[in-house]
Structure 1
Amino acid sequence: MSPLLRKNQSHTFLWLLRSLLLGLIVGAVISALTLAVEGATAIREKHQFLLFFIPVGAALTTFLYTKIGPYLKDAGNQVIQMINLGIIDIAHPSAIGFKQDAQSNYSKISTKMAPLLFLNTFITHLVGASGGKEGVGVQIGASLGSNLGRLEHFLFSRKNPSLDLKQQGIWLISGAGAAFGALFNAPVAGTLFGMQFSSPRENRTDALLPCLVSSLSACLITQALDVHVFHPLAVEAFPLDLQTILTLSCMAIVFGLFSRIFCLVVNWTKQLFSNIKKSPLLRVAIASLCLLVASLLIYWVTGAFTYNGLSIDLIIQAQLGETSLAAPFLKLLLTALTLASGFVGGEVIPLLVIGATSGSLLATFTTIPVSAMAMFGAIGMLSGSTKLPLACFVLGLELFGYANPLSLFLVASLSYGASGKLGIYEKQILPEGVDWV
């Protein structure tokens, strides 16, 4: 055996061990996060007066960031930038601009990130803000990957001053992919998400095997711990002919435009409240009071707090064709106000909810089964907002157990093309010509 082959085998074996260990740790932490969110939701549903503490929760979240580390509020963008520096390092390691960026961004992922995000997500769901958990989960997974990589480097590579960008990127990609996979019990989608979410323009294929092993092992841990993950209803099959393809194409473009509206509304709402520059606490106080008032008005009209928290039940209702006409708009309103109030959690689950309810309503104008349209709406809006059509396509297959990949792939692709350049990941590097419409 040649020395080069032996070296490659040793390198692969080491990454298998690293990614396996990382996946086990991330799987356990994501399981704890899922249980914490479920616990907070159960407490709030039992004691509905906690909704009146939305302004207190927003103020506490802001206070914790201010005292522990204001830079941690931009944790998601920091993770994306560090992964993208690794991509540039591989492609143009001698570029002067890259060297300057590398020095200015060679900051470490703080060990404070994971526990602070965990606590703030618990607060979000305890008081009933309309957030998710996957955004925080991905950041926690990336943080664990970064810290585990630094620990290994400290123990075994003390002669080198710092972990190189390429290896650091693999740790971050594997941690993020493992978290996403564990949150939805979707290991393949988790792998693709980890490899692509920072830069859909480039694929870090060097991270494929580590990310797959981490994602798969994290999913196995959540399954072994019997942690509840979202299981939507089975999607009704239907024949795919030319007329149906044309109908689906039109619907996919609509979902892409809806995702564009979602991103615009969220950004506009954040900017509206950011104009209150006198005090961060005053800004979140006003935004969270608006969130509380909107929640109470929705309760007065609907008789339930269904739109607060994760709102997973709305997806089930959408698949059954029981969606109210106002459902997607009410969820969008509460989600935008939640993000403007400084609460953390994520946008993926709200996007799935808004997309599913929109698809369910649009099903009345087509011959496509309502359960399928709800799924297409959920995956279409997610594809458009994340700019990750391949990962969302696979998530649809794994999450909904869908047996017709062509129609789902068509929806994910066209929704992505119609969504424009604005997405939920601010520092994401997008391909040229992303906007087809």
Structure 2
Amino acid sequence: MGSSQQKFYTSPLAVINHLVKWTLLSIPVSVITGSLVALFLWSLEEATHLRYEFPILLWGLPASGLLIYWLYKIGGKNAEAGNNLVIDEIHKPGAGVPARMAPLVLITTVITHLFGGSAGREGTAVQIGGSMAAWVAKVFKLGNQDVKIILMCGVAGGFGAVFGTPVTGAVFALEVLAIGSVQYIALLPCLITSLFANWVCISWNIHHTQYNILFEGSHDEWIPYLHVDVLLILKVVIASIAFGLASNLFAVLTHNIKHLSKKFIKKAYLVPVAGGLVIILLTYLIQTTDYNGLGVSGPFPDSVNIVNAFHAGNVEYYSWLLKLVFTAITLGMGFKGGEVTPLFFIGATLGNTMALLLGAPVDLLAAVGFIAVFAGATNTPIACTLMGIELFGGTHLVYFAIGCFTAYYFSGHTGIYASQKKLMQKIV
């Protein structure tokens, strides 16, 4: 065996040791993360039902924003940085991810949803996983390299459990850190943790939303051996350019709102108060609460939401833009929660609109938009393609991959995570 081969040789025994070590380390991370994510999802559902039952709660949004500000002011410290703190610590372990991040973000995200802020759940789950992984790393006194890996495991576990997509969770944790680099060193640990955390979450009787694509596919009559419809591929590409541009618009608008609100509102505690007032004003201007909260389902059968976006009707051609604005204001002005579920809403409703414009299957383009807008905003096209398979099945894999990769290229280099490194250009 040559010297270069010896340098990269890994014995089977070393692989077994690696597997056993990270299986044992992943167990506490998975059990704690999966259980806390289950508690979070249950709390979120209860808060959403309360808001449906008592719409007047919307008027408490400014006060809830003030409460969130003070909770972080009193006990948050560096936890305020959220997902970016977790990503920064993976890149360069230093100050650490505090354990208090988990209860803080869980409580404040539920508060945001209870009073009608437009936010998601992925950011909360990732922060729960990251903070609990950091705590486990402290207990076991892990070195810096192992701290990086276990933090990635926490991200994978939180993401996999909150959406019920463990394979996606593992790859997302590897891919999200940097544009142009995938951290394969943590591949097995992330997969193990994501699988375990998802199983733990499900064992608490948590059920994830099921989506169905009724479109079974069609073949091009001129090139039958391709097993895909060439014209439909072209329509998916056109729609996915729009998905990528929507991803970029969301990221840029959220960052700008955050920057401008800090610049023009001198008292920091008034930023979420102002944001809450703007959301109330917008809600009453459009005379619907469909764009408040999570957006997976709604209080009425004909509500604009993700589930209804898979069917023609109920969705307005501008629904995606309204959700984009509501979410950018909510998150850009100090409320807590994730971006991903609103991105699903934006993508699914934009996909619905594009399908009607292009004469394509509504459920297929809603599904492609669902994952592609997320891919563009987070710069994780591989993970999002896998998410398409885990959520919708593998029948339409070609369309999922085309959608995610096209959106990724057209979304620019501004993503929703400021700490995500840009190691190379998307094109050269």
The normalised TM-score by structure 1 is: 0.88
Equivalent residue for 1:305? Answer: 289
1:425 pairs with one of 394, 409, 417:
417
Cα deviation for residue 367 of structure 1 reads: 3.5
Structure 2 counterpart of 1:90: none
Alignment of 1:63-212 (within 5 A): 63-85=70-92, 106-153=94-141, 163-212=142-191
Which of 374, 379, 399 matches 2:371? 379
2:251 counterpart residue number:
263
SS in 1 for 2:215: coil
In the alignment, does 2:195 pair up with 1:216?
yes
> Identity rate of aligned residues, in percent?
32
1:362 matched to 2:367:
no
Moved more, 206-215 or 266-275: 266-275
Change (3 A) 1:69 1:223: closer
Distance 1:435 1:353, change over 3 A: farther
Alignment gaps of 5+ in structure 1: 86-104, 154-162
SS at match of 2:68: helix
Whether contact under 8 Å (2:87, 2:419) holds in the other structure is: yes
1:435 deviates by: 5.8
Task: Give the superposition deviation at 1:7.
Answer: 5.6
Taking the aligned partners of 2:346 and 2:295, their CA distance within structure 1 comes to 10
Q: Is the 8 A contact 1:189 1:395 kept in 2?
A: yes
Q: Is the 8 A contact 1:420 1:435 kept in 2?
A: no
Kindly state the Cα deviation for residue 274 of structure 1 after the two structures are TM-superposed: 1.5
Alignment partners' CA distance in 1, 2:214 and 2:293: 25
Matches of 1:73 and 1:167, distance apart in 2: 24
* Cα deviation digits, residues 380-416 of structure 1 (max 9, x gap): 1111000000000001111122412111101111110
TM-superposed deviation, 1:222: 2.1
Secondary structure, counterpart of 2:39 in structure 1? helix
CA-to-aligned-CA distance 1:161-191 (integer Å, 9 cap, x gap): xx32210011101111011111111111011
- Give the whole-Å Cα distance in 1 for the aligned partners of 2:24 and 2:417: 30
Q: Structure 1 413/69 Cα, relative in aligned 2: closer, same or farther at 3 Å?
A: same
1:353 to 2:345 alignment: yes
Question: What's the offset of the Cα at 1:431?
Answer: 4.0
Between 245-254 and 42-51, report the one with greater CA deviation. Answer: 245-254
TM alignment of 1:200-349, pairs within 5 A:
200-239=179-218, 240-298=228-286, 300=287, 304-313=288-297, 314-322=305-313, 323-349=315-341
- Assess if the C-alpha contact under 8 Å between 1:360 and 1:374 holds in 2: yes
What residue identity is the alignment partner of 1:166? Q
Structure with higher helix content: 1
- Separation of aligned partners in 2, 1:48 and 1:435: 48
Output the CA distance in 2 between the equivalents of 1:260 and 1:412.
14
Secondary structure of 2:178's counterpart equals: coil
Contact 1:235/1:401 (<8 A) preserved: no
Deviations 1:306-356 (A, max 9, x none): 211001121111101121123112111211110123111111000010110
Residue 215 of structure 1: SS of its match in structure 2?
A: helix
Asked whether the 8 Å contact 2:76–2:104 carries over to 1, the reply is no
Determine if the alignment matches structure 1 residue 50 to structure 2 residue 57. yes
TM-aligned CA distance change 1:148 to 1:358, over 3 Å: same
* Deviation digits for residues 85-107 of structure 1 (CA, Å, limit 9, x no counterpart): 3xxxxxxxxxxxxxxxxxxx611
| Alpha carbons 1:174, 1:215 under 8 Å: kept | yes
Count of equivalent residues: 402
Aligned to 1:91: none
